[in-house]
Amino acid sequence: MKKQILLVLLLVVSYSYSQSVNDYKAVIIPLKYDFLKSENQYRLITLTKFNLIKAGFPAFYSNEIIPNEYNDRCSLLYVDVVKENTFLTTKLFITFKDCYDKIIFQSAVGKSKEKDFEVAYTAALNEAFQSIYDLQYKYNGATATKVQSPAAQPLANPVAANVVRDTIIMNAEVVDLLYAQPTATGFQFINKEPKVVMKVFRTSNKDCYIAVKGDIQGVLISKENQWYFEFYQNNTLISEKISVRF
C-alpha cells in the first residue's frame, strides 16, 4: 500500500513539473555555470541555448537585449546546469528556477565516461536535455496571474546588469542578400558571385539551425522574422544579422 501511495505521489510531482514549465514565457541562460572556470567554457552555454530552442523554449542569454513582451522577470524561467561530484564519470543535471529561486523542474542526470572534458560535458548535457524534450513545452499564457506578485519587478536592462567580459554585439548593418540552396542536411547560403558563405544543418526546430561560416561554428536562429548567426569570439557573444532568401 505504501509503495502504491509513493508511486502516485511521484506521478503527481512529475505531472506538476511538466505542467508548470508551460506557465513561463521564456528561459534566461547565464554566461557561466558554477563548475566552469570561464564564460561559455567548452561551449556549454551555446549548447544550452541550442537545446532549449530545439525543445521549443524562447531562450535568451542573461546579457542579451530581449523583446518587451519578456520584460516581467517573473514570467521567465532561469536555467542552471549542476555538476555532481563523482569519480571517473561526468554527471550533469539541469534545473529551471523561477524569479524567487524556487526549482520548478529538475532533469534526469546525464552521464558520460569520456575522459576529454569537452566531449564528456557535451554528451552529459545532451543526455540531461532528453528530460527537457519530454516536457513538450508549450506556453499556456498562465504566468501573469499565477506567479506575479506586488514585489515582482520588471527585468532590468540585461546588458547594463551584466556588463562583464562577455557582452553581446548586435550587428545591425545591412548585409548582402544570400540565397539558400537545399542540401541533404539543410542549406548552403551563396552570395551573388556565387560563393558559398555559410552552411546550415537542420534541427528538430524549424527556427534553429546548426551553422558553420568559414572556421566559425554557431547557431542560426530566427527572431522576430529575422535570421541571426550567433557565435562566441574571444569570450564575446556575437549576434550577426543574416539576410537570406529561401
Residues 144-194 have pLDDT tens digits of: 444 444 444 444 444 333 333 344 445 444 457 888 889 888 999 988 888
Exposed, middle or buried, 195 (CB in 10 Å: 0-12/13-18/19+)?
exposed
Longest dimension (CA), the chain: 74
> What proportion of the chain, given as a percentage, has pLDDT over 90?
43
Choice between 3 and 134, residue whose per-residue pLDDT is larger: 134
28 has pLDDT over 50: yes
How high is the mean pLDDT of the chain?
Answer: 80
Q: What is the pTM of this model?
A: 0.57
Cα–Cα distance for residue pair 86/175, rounded to 1 Å: 48
Q: Which three cell numbers stand for residue 194?
A: 556565387
- For the record, the C-alpha cell of 195 comes out as 560563393
What pLDDT is recorded for position 31? 92
What is the predicted pLDDT for the residue at 143?
Answer: 56
Per-residue pLDDT tens digits for 64-75: 888 888 888 899
Chain center to CA of 101: 19
DSSP β-bridge partners for residue 49:
none
List the helix and strand counts (H, then E) for the chain.
5, 15
Residues 100, 146: Cα–Cα separation, whole Å: 13
Residue ranges covered by each domain of the chain: 2-161, 169-245
Give pLDDT, residue 22: 92
Q: If 0-12 CB within 10 Å is exposed, 13-18 middle and 19+ buried, where does residue 191 land?
A: middle
- Kindly report the number of other CB atoms within 10 A of residue 114's CB atom: 14
Would you say how long the chain is, in residues?
246
The cell numbers describing 119, all together, are: 566531449
What stretch of H or E contains 77?
strand 76-84
Give the C-alpha separation, 119 to 121, whole Å: 6
Using an 8 Å Cβ cutoff, are 54 and 204 in contact? yes
User: Hey, what's the cell of 89?
Assistant: 564519470
Please state the rounded mean pLDDT for residues 95-110: 93
Q: What is the pLDDT of residues 117-133, one digit of tens each?
A: 889 999 999 999 999 99
Q: Kindly report the backbone phi and psi dihedral angles of residue 23, in degrees, each rounded to the nearest multiple of 5, phi listed first.
A: -80, -5
> Taking 80 as the threshold, does the pLDDT of residue 57 lie above it?
yes
CA–CA dist 127, 244 (Å, integer):
33
Highest mean pLDDT among 175-179, 199-203, 223-227: 199-203
128 and 109 Cβ atoms separated by less than 8 Å: yes
Q: Is the pLDDT of residue 16 over 70?
A: no
